[in-house]
Amino acid sequence: MGKSIRYTDRNHEPMLPPQERNKTFREYALGFSVSIALDEAKRCLFCKDADKRCIKGCPVNVDIPGFIRKITEGDLIGAYRKIIETDPFPSICGRVCPQERQCEGSCILYYDTVRGKKNKGLPVSIGALEKFVGDFVRVSGIEIYEELKEPTGKKVAIIGAGPAGLACAYDLLKWGHEVHIYEALQKAGGVMLYGIPPARLDREVLEWEISRLEKMGVKFFFGYVVGRTISLRELLESYDAVFLSVGAGRGSLGIKGDHLVGVYSAIEVLTRTNLMRAWDFPQASTPVNLGRRTVIIGGGFTAVDCAITALRLGIETHIVYRRTRETSSARDEEWDHIKEEGAVIHWLTQPIEIIGDEGGRVTGVKCIKMQLGEPDESGRPKPVPVPNSEHIIECDSVIFAIGQKPNPIAYDGFEGLELTKWGTVKVDEQFRTSIPGLFAGGDVVNGGDTVVRAVSHGRKAAKAIDEYLMKEVRR
Ligand code: FAD
């Protein structure tokens, strides 16, 4: 087969059909078989300058050609070892990373298509290959751990068991430090556990990747709400360093009528469903009552995950977003998926008021149509209202999937800790806060980004913490 044909020949993961997947919380992307993975791996050109392309596009700089080459050689354990050199969570990242904006967006097969150069086609399915490698190792029951250095006698406390905290713990442990993670919930994972629906991230996969850390020696303290159960001051006094990675899990409401019965924050709906199994009510004890029709406000990952959830609960699902699909932060393929599953998406539509009945229950959302104007400070065209375009979308519930902010319980009022004007924790390039020995990373620093960006923060902070601790040791 000629090369020009192979370029266009990207393999796509098989999926459950839309009319089946919108009825189940089971994962709908079914993964590559061995033969498809081999075929896809062979599409890679193993560019000599991959460090300027796919590797650079990955926030943790996975050696992508390196692990793909191992797949072509039939060495899947070798491929796994290559990935975990820089990313301890191949199966998670293979599933949830927005690869089209990261590694795959920098693949030469895609890159040159965009620039109209000679290679016409679609990028290598790097995400699906990473998922394949991680899943292969998990289901084969092979346990692969990295070598741990001699114990240094230093102890680090990590606050929050999301991807930033977990990644930081992984590296610190490898370098010989004792690591204790304090987590408010009863399980680890952060947003990956309570936010992202199992339809996109199977919980067995999540638990397996986290269990590797536990087996390597990370100690978890669940049910510890730092700032309530134990204070930040106590942790700083009992440990040699502390890493703050509490995420940005506080939702915000903020339009007229948001006090009405039937108004939810996205995190409440997702936590009730994903963590407390509201979909299994009354067998599980926590319900979520969205009525017959729900309106979700927002255009990012969170809005899409609320739609995935509401559709599976059998609810007519509408999304209103004031911008366009092109300027939204959710993944393109996910907009396609929820549309196929029956969600109604109202682009360029701004909610202005939630309407209720005399009993104080939601009956609809008043919206206005928008059009794109001049670019705003983010460089995106600013949506401006279309005169006389007000209209009401009738509904029984409204879910706010916008404006996530850090929940400051862990550090509220801590003297000397500098915050930014957005309420995120201020750090320098080494993830040091204004308090000696206190480092921070992930969403609590960047206000909300991606899983792999949180992993990258966790790893960079681990390096800075290690340097800080070892300097102390040498003194
Ligand atoms: P988190 O994941 O938020 O973890 C913070 C942890 O700290 C939590 O476990 C929390 O319980 C704990 N904690 C908080 N306060 C305290 C306290 N006081 N004491 C002890 N523990 C505390 N990114 C992607 O790449 N792909 C996606 O598909 C995607 N989907 C998303 C869907 C949703 C619904 C949301 C909200 C985000 C999504 N993101 C996605 C973004 C991504 O999940 C986050 O950027 C990432 O999880 C941030 O990691 P983190 O470790 O900083 O914080």
Q: Which residue has the tokens 């924050």?
A: 265
277 C-beta neighbours (distance < 10 Å), count: 14
22 C-beta neighbours (distance < 10 Å), count: 23
- Which of 207, 225, 224, 213 shows the shortest CA–CA distance to 167? 213
Per-position DSSP letters for 15-81, written without gaps between them: B--HHHHTT--S--B----HHHHHHHHTT----TTGGGTHHHHSTT---HHHHHHHHHTT-HHHHHH
- Residue 134: strand pairing partners: none
Contact between 176 and 473 under an 8 Å Cβ cutoff? The reply is no
pLDDT at 236 over 70: yes
Ligand 1 proximity of 184 Cβ (cutoff 6 Å): yes
Ligand 1 proximity of 163 Cβ (cutoff 6 Å): yes
**What value does the mean pLDDT of the chain take?**
93
- Residue 439: strand pairing partners: 243, 432
The pLDDT value given to residue 117 = 58
- Which of 367, 362, 363 shows the shortest CA–CA distance to 392? 367
Ligand 1 proximity of 334 Cβ (cutoff 6 Å): no
Distance from C-alpha of 332 to C-alpha of 100, rounded to nearest angstrom: 9
Lowest mean pLDDT among 96-105, 162-171, 323-332, 451-460: 323-332
The pLDDT value given to residue 2 = 41
Instruction: Identify the residue with better confidence: 317 or 471.
Output: 317
Ligand 1 proximity of 236 Cβ (cutoff 6 Å): no
Distance from C-alpha of 184 to C-alpha of 232, rounded to nearest angstrom: 13
**Pair of tokens at residue 89:** 């969570």
Contact between 454 and 163 under an 8 Å Cβ cutoff? The reply is yes
Which domains does the chain carry? Answer: 18-140 (1.10.1060.10), 155-249+406-474 (3.50.50.60), 263-400 (3.50.50.60)
What is the pLDDT averaged over residues 187-210?
97
What's the distance, CA 428 to chain centroid? Answer: 23
For residue range 424-445, list pLDDT tens digits in order.
999 999 999 999 999 999 999 9
Name which residue sits closest to atom 23 of ligand 1, judged by CA. 450
The pLDDT value given to residue 436 = 96
User: How close is the Cα of 249 to the center of ligand 1, in Å?
Assistant: 7
Ligand 1 proximity of 437 Cβ (cutoff 6 Å): no
For residue range 368-414, list pLDDT tens digits in order.
999 999 888 878 788 999 999 999 999 999 999 998 889 999 999 89
Ligand 1 proximity of 94 Cβ (cutoff 6 Å): no
Ligand 1 proximity of 406 Cβ (cutoff 6 Å): no
What is the pLDDT averaged over residues 56-74?
98
- Residue 30: pLDDT band (50, 70, 90) is very high
For residue range 76-126, list pLDDT tens digits in order.
999 999 999 999 999 999 999 999 889 998 898 765 555 555 555 689 999
- Residue 24: pLDDT band (50, 70, 90) is very high
The pLDDT value given to residue 5 = 43
Ligand 1 proximity of 29 Cβ (cutoff 6 Å): no
User: How close is the Cα of 267 to the center of ligand 1, in Å?
Assistant: 10
Q: Mutate which of 60, 232, 246 to test ligand 1's pocket (most atoms within 8 Å of Cβ)?
A: 246
User: How close is the Cα of 443 to the center of ligand 1, in Å?
Assistant: 7
- Residue 4: pLDDT band (50, 70, 90) is very low
For residue range 303-345, list pLDDT tens digits in order.
999 999 999 999 999 999 999 998 888 888 899 999 999 999 9
Instruction: Identify the residue with better confidence: 299 or 2.
Output: 299
Helix (H, G, I), strand (E, B) or coil at 190: coil
